[in-house]
């Protein structure tokens, strides 16, 4: 099994692959040569230079790596090529097993307009909107009036907020249509856009589904992902504080109906907006493993990667109904971003790393001490996942895990995550997708420096002086002999055929 990804998800999938008794093959770019995921694998192939187009997005190189290592299957992780039907087709044409739904299913569900039509046909509630031609200004203005303001202009091929505009009045519509189409054409090579009613006070609640090749489809409950910053999820949890057993059954049935209608085989996620009073409507389908899948694993006791491998091997799902959630779980996305500098991404070397080890805490990490974080990729470093018998216990465990996490070198968003977890609305479970905008906009990272910090820094020099550097003198040119610089003899299994 070749895992066509990097970072924490590659580590997690590679470990799952090894646990299943399969040989795990990693791929890496040059700057990732010593990354954690390379060491989580039996073997690794270096694809090329840092930019993703030369490495993790390079289909020819990935397929060559699979061929050279004798891989029989490819797991795409999330991001990169995980939702590329074209890549899935190339994998299958090369005679390899694709861990994910069929390419035609990815195509059908990846296009938001087609996915909406499938959902509607399957009886799944969808948001009122307009999916017709937006070239006719008069017609689209009439349609917009019917949908009602505020509304969203969305890209059919979109994701992550790209090619999306909030429109509050008819006057703003023409410019939003043009801007969204331009952005979508640049990002997704399709400028097709559609209109959808904008629900302002709603929760983002998604249902995990798994389908097998024998027509079996089950849902594994929901995840609440309302805490988003710029359309990027920050903190997720399961179960949702707003979903009871009856609503879970209704939303789960809707997700299963859609998956059945699409002929879905594999693990996937059906995203909904959940309004007050339990009304929900379909948003989109993610045809892959989600970043936040561990919270579902915590509360169901299932291993989603193992299930992906099983259904890809043609096995039947081992259960017909989702187990009821057991306890509560949170996931915190720890990213190399500086909240004090407008969340600017941080690259650089990890000088010191301590990961929390405590009851109910799982860490999915792509980091190791000495690792140089490359500037080419997503800023997600690791995920802290806290599980407990109830929401408050899990929340306190998440805070303790944050306290115990030490990453020296790149600045992270840890202070921001703590502020979210401690916010009274968050504590109350009172969340909407406006949470960050409404309650975190005035977050300021605490930049005060206590005397103790100065004492610690100076005491290190007094009590453990750098060899060669006299106490009382510090040279700016001194370069510390870190283990990273002394590890020249290290070798990774980067050659095809390298030893395990």
Among 474, 487, 491, 495, binds another protein (CB under 8 A): 474
Among 189, 321, 357, 447, binds another protein (CB under 8 A): 447
Helix (H) or strand (E) holding 437: helix 435-439
CB of 484 to another protein, least distance (A): 9
CB of 112 to another protein, least distance (A): 20
Q: Kindly state the tokens that stand for 386.
A: 């806290």
Among 189, 321, 357, 448, binds another protein (CB under 8 A): 448
| 379 near another protein (CB under 8 A) | yes
Rounded CA-CA distance 198/273 in Å is: 10
| 106 near another protein (CB under 8 A) | no
Rounded CA-CA distance 313/218 in Å is: 17
CB of 7 to another protein, least distance (A): 12
The residue (of 172 and 372) whose beta carbon lies closer to another protein is: 372
Rounded CA-CA distance 192/188 in Å is: 10
The residue (of 249 and 347) whose beta carbon lies closer to another protein is: 347
Binding range to another protein, per CB under 8 A, among 92-100, 189-197, 334-342, 422-430: 334-342
| 452 near another protein (CB under 8 A) | yes
The residue (of 174 and 375) whose beta carbon lies closer to another protein is: 375
| 343 near another protein (CB under 8 A) | yes
Phi/psi region, residue 327 (left: phi>0; alpha: psi -120 to 50; beta: rest), is left
| 8 near another protein (CB under 8 A) | no
The DSSP annotation for 351-388 comes to -EEE----TTEEEEE---TT-EE-TTS--EEEEEEEEE
Rounded CA-CA distance 345/410 in Å is: 9
CB of 179 to another protein, least distance (A): 15
How many other C-beta atoms can be found within 10 angstroms of the C-beta atom of residue 443?
15
- Phi, psi dihedrals of residue 395, rounded to the nearest 5°: -65, -45
How many other C-beta atoms can be found within 10 angstroms of the C-beta atom of residue 7?
25
Do the bridges between strand 380-388 and strand 348-349 make them parallel or antiparallel, or are there none, so unpaired?
A: unpaired
Site string for another protein, 145-164 (x = CB under 8 A): ---------------x----
Binding site for another protein (CB under 8 A): 51, 160, 336-337, 342-345, 347, 349, 351-352, 354, 375-379, 402-403, 406-409, 411-412, 414-415, 418, 446-464, 466, 471-472, 474, 476-483
């Amino acid at each position: 099994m070749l895992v066509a990804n990097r970072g924490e998800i590659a580590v997690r999938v590679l470990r799952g692959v090894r646990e299943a008794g399969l040989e795990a093959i990693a791929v890496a770019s040059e700057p990732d040569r010593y990354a954690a995921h390379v060491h989580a694998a039996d073997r690794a192939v270096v694809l090329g230079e840092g930019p993703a187009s030369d490495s993790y997005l390079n289909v020819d190189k990935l397929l060559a790596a699979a061929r050279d290592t004798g891989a029989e299957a490819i797991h795409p992780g999330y991001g990169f090529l995980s939702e590329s039907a074209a890549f899935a087709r190339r994998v299958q044409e090369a005679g390899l097993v694709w861990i994910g739904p069929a390419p035609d299913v990815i195509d059908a569900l990846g296009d938001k307009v087609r996915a909406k039509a499938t959902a509607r046909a399957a009886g799944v509630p969808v948001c009122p909107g307009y999916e017709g031609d937006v070239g006719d200004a008069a017609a689209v203005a009439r349609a917009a009036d019917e949908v009602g303001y505020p509304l969203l202009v969305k890209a059919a091929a979109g994701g992550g907020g790209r090619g999306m505009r909030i429109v509050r009045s008819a006057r703003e519509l023409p410019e939003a249509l043009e801007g969204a189409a331009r952005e979508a054409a640049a990002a997704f090579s399709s400028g097709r856009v559609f209109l959808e009613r904008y629900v302002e006070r709603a929760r983002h609640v998604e249902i995990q589904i798994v389908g097998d090749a024998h027509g079996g489809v089950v849902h594994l409950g929901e995840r609440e992902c309302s805490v988003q910053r710029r359309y990027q999820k920050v903190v997720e949890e399961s179960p949702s504080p707003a979903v009871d057993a009856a609503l879970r059954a209704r939303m789960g049935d809707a997700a299963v109906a859609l998956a059945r209608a699409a002929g879905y085989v594999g693990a996937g996620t059906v995203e909904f907006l959940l309004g007050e009073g339990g009304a929900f409507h379909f948003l989109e389908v993610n045809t892959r493993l989600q970043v936040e899948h561990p919270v579902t694993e915590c509360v169901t006791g299932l291993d989603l990667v193992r299930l992906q491998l099983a259904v890809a091997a043609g096995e039947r799902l081992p259960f017909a109904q989702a187990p009821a959630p057991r306890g509560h779980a949170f996931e915190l996305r720890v990213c190399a971003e500086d909240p004090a500098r407008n969340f600017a991404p941080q690259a650089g070397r990890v000088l010191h790393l301590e990961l929390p080890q405590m009851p109910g805490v799982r860490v999915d990490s792509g980091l190791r001490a000495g690792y140089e974080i490359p500037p080419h990729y997503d800023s997600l470093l690791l995920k802290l996942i806290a599980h407990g018998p109830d929401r408050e216990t899990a929340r306190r465990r998440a805070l303790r895990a944050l306290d115990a996490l030490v990453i020296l070198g790149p600045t992270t968003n840890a202070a921001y995550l703590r502020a979210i977890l401690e916010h009274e609305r968050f504590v109350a479970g009172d969340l909407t997708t406006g949470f960050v905008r409404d309650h975190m906009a005035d977050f300021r990272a605490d930049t005060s420096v206590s005397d103790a910090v100065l004492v610690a820094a100076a005491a290190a020099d007094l009590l453990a002086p750098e060899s060669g550097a006299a106490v009382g003198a510090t040279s700016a040119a001194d370069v510390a002999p870190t283990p990273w610089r002394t590890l020249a003899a290290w070798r990774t299994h980067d050659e095809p055929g390298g030893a395990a």
